[in-house]
Amino acid sequence: MRSYHHAHPVDIVLSVSRFLGLLIFPALRALYSLLFTMDHLIDWLRGAWFDLIVIFLIVGLGFIRWYGRGYHLEKTGIRYRQGVFFVKTQLVPFEKLSVVTKESLFYLMPLRAVYVCADTDGGSPRAYDFSMLLKKDEAQTLVERCRVRQKRSMERVYLPKNRNIAILSLIASNSLGGVLFLSTLFSGAGKVFGRSIEREVFDQITTVTQVLVQGIPPVAAIIGLTILGGWSVSFLKNLVRNLRFSAARRGAYLRIESGLFSRRLYDLTVARINLIEIQQNLFTKALGLYTVFLHANGYGKKKDELSVLMPSCDRASFRDNLRLLLPEFSGCKPTVRPRVRYLTRFLFPPVAWIVAVTCAWVVVWRWIPDLRSTVLFLWIMSSIPCVWYLIVKLVSFFHNGIGVQQGVYTLQYTFLYRFKTVIVPAQRIVSVQIKRSFTQFFSGCCDVVIDTFSEGKKRHVIPNLPLCKAQEILHCTNLPEPILLRKEKTPSV
């Protein structure tokens, strides 16, 4: 009879914390204010009895849920059981694991509780195949059992400087994430501390705003400060998450650790890494900085988690460190590139956007003469991204291409405003599509669409490459001509 290990007892409360938080803080607040007066306590009980019953029910459900969950370490894998009425049992084999994660959150460290997550190539792309909150020593045993004992092999370690991590946080931060975080924080604080405190905080923010942005239209000032505030919060979150980053290669595994207060440890099976992706924007491309991510099922799955391999480095460091950590992924320069006569294909879409935006604002300018200064401001604001896009597309003409060396493909392309370089072994390519639009038929070029191995779909589109060279490098020769251009009927295969 198997004995299943349960999760850490604090999981009883954590698993229902979303529902508990709505009730418990107002109840505790009321109780604190009445703590020293017995008569008022009875009055409080008369009013809050229903809330107390609901709290006990929620904690009770949490206990039932905790009791129904357990794991057992077997010879070949982790056997995991979940549920009381609907019992789910699964066996996750050790050798199918692609990533094992150990996360020590700072607020759980005094309780010696650690999250352990494991993922394979199957299962949901949004959730880990195995995830539990365990006691620290149990978590250590589990993580060690997930890794086959190896002979002592040399460990190769990569330790980036803090300024490189700061650059990564600068690049990866986005205002929307920060704004959502702040709005959730203020809303939650209002529920806990009371609406009067929430109003007081907002009044203070408004006062500071008025002092800082004299001379700027109020609407523009509020939008600008919201974006700046949101971005700053996102930057700090990313910085705290990625500080003390290290990557170490030992044998068949790659171990990545990061986090200033909450430490995260990821154990990746190198054979299950799907691809390496280098992302640059216009600034980092001009400065020659590379931010390297790696794609393995289970790494970078959580919200706000980045699947980083190298936060930021120059070209020489990138080459040296990639050879150190993942010599299996050796990139090369693209040999198949767009021809000069395809340049107009790159420039036409952004030019069309600039013309369309300009025409639209000219029409608005003529229709609403009273708001010409506002219209002019908005026209400039909306033209900036279009001009930026034009510059990006011009640079992408020189960036795009495909190369192959020793069975490893290097794909270079642009997605929106980002320049991407993907290094992927041939066996991780699932499908190749060669697409040609009506105008591409006559110019002899095509778009190459490559799907790579992942839990969901990962697609790479490299546009406007010469057809013959693309077919040759991807081993897709002897394709039939499109039906409208065929001169004679070809027999079906």
Q: Which residues bind another protein (CB under 8 A)?
A: 76-77, 85-96, 120-123, 129, 297, 453, 455
Whichever of 298 and 463 has its CB closer to another protein, that residue is 298
Whichever of 78 and 392 has its CB closer to another protein, that residue is 78
Say if residue 184 is exposed, middle or buried (CB neighbours under 10 Å; 0-12, 13-18, 19+).
Answer: exposed
Tokens read off for 215: 């001379």
Whichever of 36 and 86 has its CB closer to another protein, that residue is 86
Q: In the 8-state DSSP scheme, what is residue 434?
A: E
Task: List, in order, residues 6 or more apart from 208 with CB less than 8 Å away.
Answer: none
Whichever of 447 and 451 has its CB closer to another protein, that residue is 451
Of 294, 306, 280, the C-alpha closest to 177 is: 306
Q: How far is the CB of 420 from another protein (least distance, A)?
A: 23
Of 406, 399, 373, 237, the C-alpha closest to 364 is: 373
Q: How far is the CB of 269 from another protein (least distance, A)?
A: 13
Q: How far is the CB of 223 from another protein (least distance, A)?
A: 43
Q: How far is the CB of 458 from another protein (least distance, A)?
A: 11
Q: How far is the CB of 316 from another protein (least distance, A)?
A: 36
Q: How far is the CB of 97 from another protein (least distance, A)?
A: 9
Q: How far is the CB of 430 from another protein (least distance, A)?
A: 8
127 and 144 Cβ atoms separated by less than 8 Å: no
- Rounded CA gap, 242 and 235, in Å? 11
Bridge partner residues of 157 (DSSP): 248
- Rounded CA gap, 295 and 373, in Å? 48
Q: In the 8-state DSSP scheme, what is residue 150?
A: -
Q: How far is the CB of 274 from another protein (least distance, A)?
A: 10
Whichever of 120 and 471 has its CB closer to another protein, that residue is 120
Bridge partner residues of 153 (DSSP): none
- Rounded CA gap, 224 and 329, in Å? 42
- Rounded CA gap, 261 and 459, in Å? 35
418 and 396 Cβ atoms separated by less than 8 Å: no
Whichever of 284 and 452 has its CB closer to another protein, that residue is 452
Rg (CA), the chain: 28
Of 422, 386, 388, 390, the C-alpha closest to 283 is: 388
Q: Give me the phi and psi of 466, to 5 degrees please.
A: -65, 130
Q: Which H or E run includes 374?
A: helix 372-399
Whichever of 89 and 187 has its CB closer to another protein, that residue is 89
Whichever of 90 and 162 has its CB closer to another protein, that residue is 90
Whichever of 281 and 454 has its CB closer to another protein, that residue is 454
Q: How far is the CB of 134 from another protein (least distance, A)?
A: 19
Angle between helices 218-242 and 162-172 (to 10 degrees): 140
Whichever of 72 and 244 has its CB closer to another protein, that residue is 72
Q: How far is the CB of 250 from another protein (least distance, A)?
A: 23
